[in-house]
A = this chain, B = another copy of it.
């Protein structure tokens, strides 16, 4: 029995190469979860087979920038000349609907979320050893040593932002990391600040 009905906004982030995507997938495969994705909005062109509202919300640059000015993004970033962002209103609807919204985003975006949704749960995923992450960044493809160095420097800058998150979860094994996140979600629902109003109603029922 849950004491509160509003869903949680769970922000899954961490340094590049830590395995955010894999852990997110493992979460969506968990039994008895109530997770939903948030569909991002973008200004990049729709590719063949992509569906508006499913893969992305496709909007014009003008529309996107208007929405930025109106504070309508939970977070956004510009990447290779295109905007990508998470629409605040859609996420809010899903939360009100009792869904747990999982956002898997970069460190920069994750920290923007806190300003918009005060009770968001920010999780910082870390490798068991820094070296493990370097190895992964190196083995990703055929990039030049320079590109790899840049990535490592970026990861090192991101590592230092862990203290801004609510939780630090070690990604030693994907299934363990997902288990820890499930425990965090259960615990967050039991937090007094989230459940006290519902609880007061419950104990007044007599």
Contact = CB atoms under 8 A, between A and B. Distances in A.
Describe A's contact surface by its main secondary structure.
helix
Nearest to A169: B190
Given A128-B1, A130-B206, A199-B126, A187 B168 contact: no
Contacts of A111: none
Contacts of A184: 183, 186-187, 190
A203 interface: yes
A105 interface: no
B196 A186 contact: no
A155 to B, nearest CB: 10
Contacts of A196: 162-163, 168
Contacts of A182: 183
A79 B190 CA distance: 32
A184 to B, nearest CB: 4
Interface residues of A, number: 36
Interface in A106-127: 124, 126
A55 interface: no
A195 to B, nearest CB: 5
Nearest to A128: B1
A205 B170 contact: no
A54 interface: no
29 contacts: A1-B128, A1-B172, A1-B176, A3-B168, A3-B170, A126-B202, A128-B202, A129-B202, A130-B202, A130-B203, A130-B205, A130-B206, A159-B203, A162-B192, A162-B196, A162-B199, A163-B196, A166-B192, A167-B187, A167-B192, A168-B192, A168-B196, A169-B190, A180-B187, A182-B183, A183-B187, A184-B190, A187-B187, A187-B188
A93 to B, nearest CB: 27
B165 A192 contact: yes
A199 B180 CA distance: 16
A70 interface: no
A131 interface: yes
